[in-house]
Structure 1
Amino acid sequence: MQMAQIGDLRLHYSVTGPEDGTPVVFANSLGTDFRLWDEVLPLLPAGLRILRYDKRGHGLSDTPSGPYSMGALITDVERLMDHTGFSNAIFVGLSIGGMIAQGLAAKRLDLVRAMVLSNTAAKIGTRDMWADRIEAVRTGGLNSIVGPTMDRWFSKPFHDAEEFPGWRNMFLRTPAEGWTGCAAAIAGTDFLSSTSGLRLPTLAIAGSEDGSTPPDLVFETADLIPGAQKELIRGAGHLPCVEKPGEYAALLTAFLKAQGAAG
């Protein structure tokens, strides 16, 4: 188990792969920990230096009192990358992780040379929508929103998969303070202007059944960045790396190799 003291915050992270490997950072979604990537990593090229982490309020990382700002979430991974010696990395972010990717690229281009924006956008939802969900969780816990969340996250057939209950449990075991804290960060974020100024290799991935960030929303954000690639994974929802790990890994592998990654 690897823990980093980042200011007054302790973050749980994992670094794997050769020290001289191509640096790749993975940032997961709201309500998941870094096990989100477990099925994808073994399918990626050899020779990658991979950093995964649990953002504040998730997994084994600390859960400070919320609400959190997107700036704080960006600073957390910025400091973690400095702590672990990651720079000039390819950053893979899903959902809120993709928002963090956009913000970090705008802030520290020395840290991010290419990015994968998976099931994310420059702006997700409305303040009122997030306020309603935050209030529901504060009143009734995550159990009060788990049903609609799972419907947005996964295609209908996946609800019958043997691993589905595990993802539902992961969501339910997220600290409520961590979920509402990060939800507030999403609510307060609009990166339309800053993302439109980015000029770096970008791959956008969407799931055809995604009820949280539908393909049109994902691709509208990709269109802000000249030359961004757009890929749709059919039959998958908000977490295509879970439902279709083989297809997801194939898209990542092609993009990584195009950036000169080993393997």
Structure 2
Amino acid sequence: MHMADLGDVRLHYRIDGPDAGAPLVLANALGTDLRVWDGLLPHLPEGLRILRYDMRGHGLSDCPEPPYSMGALVRDAERLMEHTGFHDAVFVGLSIGGMVAQGLSAKRHDLVRAAVLSNTAAKIGTRQIWEARIAEVETGGVESIADAVLERWFTRRFRASEEFRPWRNMLTRTPTKGYAGCAAAVAGTDFMTPTSGLRLPLLGIAASEDGSTPPDLVRETTDLVPGSQFALIRGAGHLPFIERPAEYAQVLTDFLKSQGHI
């Protein structure tokens, strides 16, 4: 268990893989913590040095008073990578983590050599939608929105399985202030202009049953970047590496190989 003191916030993080491995950063979704990637790691090739972390307000990281800005979340990732010595990395961002990936890619070319935008977009939803969700969470806690969120996250078949329960627990145990804080960051973000200016290798990953960031939305953002690649994973929702870990790992591995990163 490692904590990085970044001054205004302390972030919980984990590093897996050899010290000299190719750097890979994984940034996860609103309402999840770094454990969300556990099932993917065994499917990835050896030789990667993988950094995962709990976003502020999530997992074991500090939970400052909301709201948070996307700029703060990008700075958190930036300072954590500097703290851990992760430079020239491939940054994989899921959902809100994909927004962080876009912001960091535009800001720090020395830290991010290539980006993977998974189940995300330059703009997700509207400010009104997010403000309504924040109000509901502040009144009834994350539990009050859990069922609706999980319908978008997972297929009906997965939600009926024994594997589903831990993910519901992860979501509902997210601190109210942390969820509301990060939701405010999403509400205030529109990266259409900065993302369209990116000139780095980029892969967009979408899932056919994703109710939060449907494939067309992910593709629209991916297409903003010239020369980008796009992959669609069928039979999965917003967190495709949970329902289809081997397929997701293959898509990611192929991209890493195409960039000479492994």
TM-score by length of 2: 0.99
2:260 partner SS: coil
Aligned counterparts of 1:247 and 1:213: Cα–Cα separation in 2: 19
1:48-67 pair list within 5 angstroms:
48-67=48-67
1:39-64 deviation per Cα after TM superposition (whole angstroms, max 9, x unaligned): 11111111111100001000000000
Q: CA deviation at 1:261?
A: 2.5
1:166-245 pair list within 5 angstroms:
166-245=166-245
User: In structure 2, what residue type is equivalent to 1:65?
Assistant: E
User: In structure 2, what residue type is equivalent to 1:123?
Assistant: K
2:204 partner SS: strand
For residue 9 of structure 1, what is the aligned residue in structure 2? 9
1:231-259 deviation per Cα after TM superposition (whole angstroms, max 9, x unaligned): 11111000001111011001011111112
Q: CA deviation at 1:22?
A: 0.6
1:154-188 deviation per Cα after TM superposition (whole angstroms, max 9, x unaligned): 11111112110100000000001000000000000
User: In structure 1, what residue type is equivalent to 2:101?
Assistant: A
User: In structure 2, what residue type is equivalent to 1:40?
Assistant: L
Task: Tell me how large the CA RMSD over aligned residues is.
Answer: 0.6
> Is structure 2 residue 248 aligned with structure 1 residue 248?
yes
Structure 2: any 5+ residue segments left out of the alignment?
none
User: In structure 2, what residue type is equivalent to 1:6?
Assistant: L
Aligned counterparts of 1:45 and 1:140: Cα–Cα separation in 2: 42
Aligned counterparts of 1:161 and 1:37: Cα–Cα separation in 2: 19
> Is structure 2 residue 172 aligned with structure 1 residue 157?
no
1:76-91 pair list within 5 angstroms:
76-91=76-91
Structure 1: any 5+ residue segments left out of the alignment?
none
User: In structure 1, what residue type is equivalent to 2:118?
Assistant: S
Matched residues, number: 262
1:142-153 pair list within 5 angstroms:
142-153=142-153
For residue 38 of structure 1, what is the aligned residue in structure 2? 38
Q: CA deviation at 1:192?
A: 0.0
Aligned counterparts of 2:207 and 2:160: Cα–Cα separation in 1: 18
User: In structure 1, what residue type is equivalent to 2:185?
Assistant: A
For residue 110 of structure 2, what is the aligned residue in structure 1? 110
Aligned counterparts of 1:7 and 1:225: Cα–Cα separation in 2: 34
Q: Which runs of 4+ in 1 moved over 2 A?
A: none
For residue 23 of structure 1, what is the aligned residue in structure 2? 23
User: In structure 2, what residue type is equivalent to 1:136?
Assistant: E
TM-score by length of 1: 0.99
Aligned counterparts of 1:67 and 1:179: Cα–Cα separation in 2: 9
Identity percentage over the alignment?
67
For residue 74 of structure 2, what is the aligned residue in structure 1? 74
Note if contact 1:48-1:261 (Cα within 8 Å) is conserved in structure 2.
Answer: no
